[in-house]
Homo-oligomer: A and B are copies of this chain.
C-alpha cells in the first residue's frame, strides 16, 4: 500500500475507476463486464475509458441477460478469471438472484471446497436520485447480508470505494459491492497506488461519547452531518460507525462503541422490516449491552420509493432525523432540530448541480 499523497482528492466514481484500472493492470485475469461498461458514460464514470486503456475484452458490453450473465461470470471465475460484473441498478440484479444465491454464494461451501472458489465482484448501484421511483431506487442490502457466503460491501467515501473495490477483487469469494448513487460525485482524499481496505472491518468515522450511530454507505454522510450539528449546537457527541462491510460484520467495533456510549441509533438506507438495521439492534440486544434508552432505527418507511420530490422529502430520512433520534436518546437538544441548516438543494438530489436524469 502506498500513501504518497493522502490529500489528493477524487470523486467516489473516479476512485472506483482508479481501483478497477489498478486491478486490471495488475491481474490479467480481471475483467469488467456489464451493460454499458464501455459506453460513453461508463457507468457514471466508474468504467470510463477502461476499454480504450485495456482493450475491448477487458471491459465488455453485453446483451440484456442479467441472469445468464451472472452464471457466466461465476463460470469464468471457476475457470480462473476474476470478473467484475456491473449492474446499473440493483433492481435489475433481481433477475439474477438465483445464480447469486444458489450458485455463487454456496459453491465453495456446498462442494466442501472441491468446487473451487468464485472470486467475483458484483457491483450494484443502489439508492435514489432525481425521481427514479419505485423500481430504480431500492437497496436490498439486508437481502444480500442474509445469504451465507456472500460478502457485502458498501463504501461511504472515495478512499474506501477504491480500497474496498481492490480488496473485493482480490477476495476469493463473491462480493456484492453496493454503491449509493448519491456518492458517485462526492469528492474526498484517495490514497494513490494499489491501495486496499480490508473487508470485514468497521470504521469509526467520527468518535464521540454520547451515542453511537451505526450507518453504511450514504447514510454515513448523513450521520456525519448530524454529528457535526449535534456537537456544535447541542453539545451531543455522536460516534459514527461506518459499517463498510455488512458481511462479514465486524460487530466488535460496534459493540465497543455501544459499550462506551450506551446509546444506539442505526441508520439504514432501506425499508425497515427485516432490514439490516434490525440485525444490528438484535445483536446489541442479544449481547446484553446496556443502553440508557431503547435503540432507534432510522430507515425508510415500509413502502416503495416514490418519484415525486414532494414525497421523496418525507420518504428519505436525513441528517436531522439522525440528530433527533440521537438527541432523544441522550435526552437533550431535541428541540434544536428546527435549527438544523436547510439543505442547500432540493431533497431529491445530492447537490445542486446533480445532473440527472439518472
Residues on A facing B (Cβ under 8 Å): 67, 91, 94-95, 97-98, 101-102, 105-106, 109-110, 133-135, 140, 142-143, 145-149, 247, 249, 271, 273-279, 281-288, 293-297, 302-304, 306
A95-B98, A106-B304 are known contacts; what are 9 more A-B pairs with Cβ within 8 Å? A91-B98, A94-B98, A105-B304, A110-B133, A110-B304, A146-B273, A148-B304, A281-B281, A286-B295
Can you name 15 A-B residue pairings with CB atoms under 8 Å?
A94-B97, A94-B98, A94-B101, A94-B102, A102-B135, A106-B134, A142-B274, A145-B274, A146-B273, A147-B271, A148-B303, A277-B282, A278-B283, A282-B297, A285-B285
Q: What 8 A-B pairs come out closest when comparing CB atoms?
A: A281-B282, A288-B294, A278-B282, A94-B98, A146-B274, A110-B134, A142-B274, A278-B278
Whether A285 contacts B281 in the complex (CB less than 8 A), given A109-B134, A110-B133, comes out as: yes
**Count of chain copies:** 2
A110 surroundings in chain B (CB, below 8 A): 133-135, 304, 306
A146 touches B275 (CB 8 A): yes
A297 surroundings in chain B (CB, below 8 A): 282, 286
A276 surroundings in chain B (CB, below 8 A): 274
CA distance A149 to B138 in the complex (A): 14
CA distance A273 to B141 in the complex (A): 12
Q: Which of A97, A145, A274, A293 has the most CB of B within 10 A?
A: A274
A284 surroundings in chain B (CB, below 8 A): 285
CA distance A47 to B294 in the complex (A): 48
